[in-house]
């Protein structure tokens, strides 16, 4: 495993990190500009005047937060990334349904899936489905699992936008419970992707705590990842507060020595050398 291999997302046509600082980030999704909290942005804003053009700003008041919509905007609107079409809208807890820091991983997934013959890919905690659509576009048969019906509806809408709705099996279930059943059935996958939250609840109220449940889930997934050369595995992390090295060592503890890499996911600020650390990842190929 190669540690501290940071992946940087550069601006592209429909996405740009315009500025950051004072615990916020200013982003453009298509033609819509939004300001959102960002705990990593400990520095000063570089272009304060640009923030006045935001269509909406998310702010916390105590433990609760909400969007302050300052200019008319379409909801939802569509974001394009290569052949992907993703539906974007203002949702609870500052999210808009697209995580642009994942673009290096989308490219990696597409590259890995395209080297295999009709690979079976499992996406756990699949949320709005960009990774699912990426894998399906590369020829994979994807099983997308999320406990939230709202997230599944959003992901399937994204698949329809990209013309891939028939290429995905959509499962509303607790990720750990589904994985255990698949393991007992002897089902294996050529690619496994997971993006677990720090805390969550399954479709039947099952409680997920990453500090307790990640290691058992990894052990289950070890039995489900095909041993054939070219099979791939990707683990992402956001809000859990762990270092990438911690995630990497957890993976190595279960899977053994692997040919892979781990590090941080960075968003590069437009016209600047600054980056906003936006998550961690671990990935490897058999």
Residues 190 and 52 grouped into a single domain: no
Q: Tell me, yes or no, whether 2 lies in a domain.
A: no
Point out the domain boundary residue: 74, 103, 121.
74
Q: Is the pLDDT of residue 182 over 80?
A: yes
User: Any idea what the CATH number is for the domain that residue 104 is in?
Assistant: 3.40.50.150
CA distance 263 to 278: 11
Range(s) of the domain holding residue 68: 9-74
In order, the DSSP letters of 93-126 are TT--S--GGGHHHHHHHHHHHHTSSS-EEEEET-
pLDDT band, very low/low/confident/very high, at 139 (cuts 50, 70, 90): very high
Q: Would you tell me the crossing angle of helices 210-224 and 175-185 to the nearest 10 degrees?
A: 30
Q: Tell me, yes or no, whether 3 lies in a domain.
A: no
Point out the domain boundary residue: 28, 43, 74.
74
Q: Tell me, yes or no, whether 54 lies in a domain.
A: yes
Report CA Rg, the chain. 19
Q: Tell me, yes or no, whether 183 lies in a domain.
A: yes
Residues 170 and 275 grouped into a single domain: yes
Residues 66 and 100 grouped into a single domain: no
Question: Any idea which of 7-16, 66-75, 135-144, 160-169 has the lowest mean pLDDT?
Answer: 160-169
- Helix ranges (DSSP H) in the chain: 103-114, 130-137, 149-161, 175-185, 210-224, 244-255
Residues 58 and 169 grouped into a single domain: no
Other beta carbons within 10 Å of 107: 14
Q: Tell me, yes or no, whether 4 lies in a domain.
A: no
- For 54-85, the pLDDT digits (tens) are 999 999 888 789 999 999 999 899 999 999 99
- For 76-126, the pLDDT digits (tens) are 999 999 999 999 999 988 999 999 999 999 999 999 999 999 999 999 999
When divided into structural domains, the chain yields a total of 2
Residues 210 and 277 grouped into a single domain: yes
CA distance 138 to 58: 35
Q: Cα dist. 273→19, 33, 46, 54, 248 in Å?
A: 11, 21, 12, 22, 27
Q: Is the pLDDT of residue 166 over 90?
A: no
Residues 111 and 38 grouped into a single domain: no
Residue 239 is predicted with a pLDDT of 63
Residues 252 and 131 grouped into a single domain: yes
pLDDT band, very low/low/confident/very high, at 201 (cuts 50, 70, 90): confident
Q: Tell me, yes or no, whether 1 lies in a domain.
A: no
- For 241-281, the pLDDT digits (tens) are 799 999 999 999 999 999 999 999 999 999 999 999 999 99
User: Any idea what the CATH number is for the domain that residue 23 is in?
Assistant: 2.60.40.1180
Q: Is the pLDDT of residue 240 over 80?
A: no
Q: Tell me, yes or no, whether 43 lies in a domain.
A: yes
């Amino acid at each position: 495993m190669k540690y501290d291999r940071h992946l940087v997302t550069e601006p592209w046509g429909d996405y740009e990190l315009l500025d950051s600082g004072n615990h916020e980030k200013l982003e453009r999704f298509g033609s819509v500009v939004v300001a959102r909290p960002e705990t990593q942005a400990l520095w000063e804003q570089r272009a304060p005047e640009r923030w006045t053009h935001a269509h909406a700003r998310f702010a916390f008041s105590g433990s609760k937060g909400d969007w302050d919509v300052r200019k008319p905007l379409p909801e939802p609107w569509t974001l394009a990334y290569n052949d992907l079409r993703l539906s974007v809208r203002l949702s609870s807890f500052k999210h808009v349904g697209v995580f642009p820091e994942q673009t290096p991983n989308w490219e990696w997934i597409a590259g890995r899936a395209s080297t295999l013959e009709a690979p079976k890919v499992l996406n756990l905690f699949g949320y709005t489905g960009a990774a699912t659509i990426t894998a399906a576009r590369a020829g994979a048969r994807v099983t997308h699992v999320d406990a939230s019906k709202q997230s599944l509806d959003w992901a399937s809408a994204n698949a329809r936008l990209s013309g891939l709705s028939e290429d995905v099996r959509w499962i509303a279930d607790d990720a750990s419970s589904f994985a255990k059943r698949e393991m007992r059935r002897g089902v294996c996958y050529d690619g496994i992707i997971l993006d677990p939250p720090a805390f969550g609840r399954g479709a039947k109220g099952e409680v997920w705590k990453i500090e307790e449940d990640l290691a058992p889930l990894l052990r289950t997934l070890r039995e489900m990842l095909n041993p054939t050369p070219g099979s791939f595995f990707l683990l992402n992390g956001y809000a859990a507060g762990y270092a990438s090295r911690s995630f990497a060592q957890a993976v190595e503890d279960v899977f053994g020595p692997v040919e892979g890499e781990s590090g941080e996911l960075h968003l590069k600020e437009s016209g600047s050398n600054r980056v906003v650390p936006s998550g961690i990842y671990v990935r490897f190929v058999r």
